[in-house]
Amino acid sequence: MHRQSFFTRWRDLIYPRTPNQEPRILKSRTATSWVAWLAIALAAYPACAQDEQSESKTHPPAPAVQEENRGHAAQQVSVTDHAIVVDGITINYRATAGYVPVRGESDRVIADMFFAAYERQDATSRGAARPVTFAFNGGPGSSAVWLHMGGVGPKRALLAKDGTALPLLDKLVDNEYTWLEFTDLVFVDPVGSGFSRAAPGVDARQFYEVQRDIELASDFVRSFVTEHERWLSPQ
């Protein structure tokens, strides 16, 4: 007796043979249902395998890896180039917006501090020779937006002629009072204000204290001048 192939056994099971070996197609509801279920199972197998592979690729990393990735992602920034006209003089500058991770014990990220920096591109002195000013509006509770869009940034909110706010502050104009003419600018949101937040799992209340606020500001400045190579700039 020769060994039947898988296909032969499968065929004989689905299409039983009569004594004269002629195939007889089963028309019963049971056979039809069995064939249907088998077809569904065979069709679903590749999809299941693909789902398992997709799940393994998108499975979230362990908490420790998430923490490391967060610190790395927090350093991503957006960089754009702009120009304003002040007293008839065009000032070309580069705007950089992003986050600086602040680390505590065991090099763990405890907060992400948001900043918006402006660097003049056509100044006679650039880089380490050009001053850089860090502007904080206080906090917690108050971001740097008032100094940024209402004080010394390259753009300011359009106000009424008497200096009062308009019903809708939806338009920015060139700021004739900007300090960008003589210093680069970095506006920083203290933790708990603006876009700056404590890291997940970290109690934000620890940052709502004068001494802690000063320490975080120092940590931010140190990280920023290191990342952007501005240690030698007058600050």
Q: What are phi and psi of 232, to 5 degrees?
A: -85, -5
185 token code pair: 């600018």
Model pLDDT for residues 85-139, shown as the tens digit of each residue = 998 999 999 999 999 998 887 888 889 999 999 999 987 666 667 899 998 875 5
At 125-162, the pLDDT tens digits run: 666 678 999 988 755 567 777 788 888 999 988 887 88
Amino acid type, 87: D
Identify the pLDDT of residue 42: 40
- Statement: the pTM of the whole predicted model exceeds 0.75: no
CATH of 63-227, picked from 3.30.420.40, 3.40.50.1000, 1.10.10.10, 3.40.50.1820, is 3.40.50.1820
Domain ranges in the chain? 6-58, 63-227
User: Per-residue pLDDT averaged across 211-220, rounded?
Assistant: 87
pLDDT at residue 138 in the model:
59
Residue 18: pLDDT over 70 = no
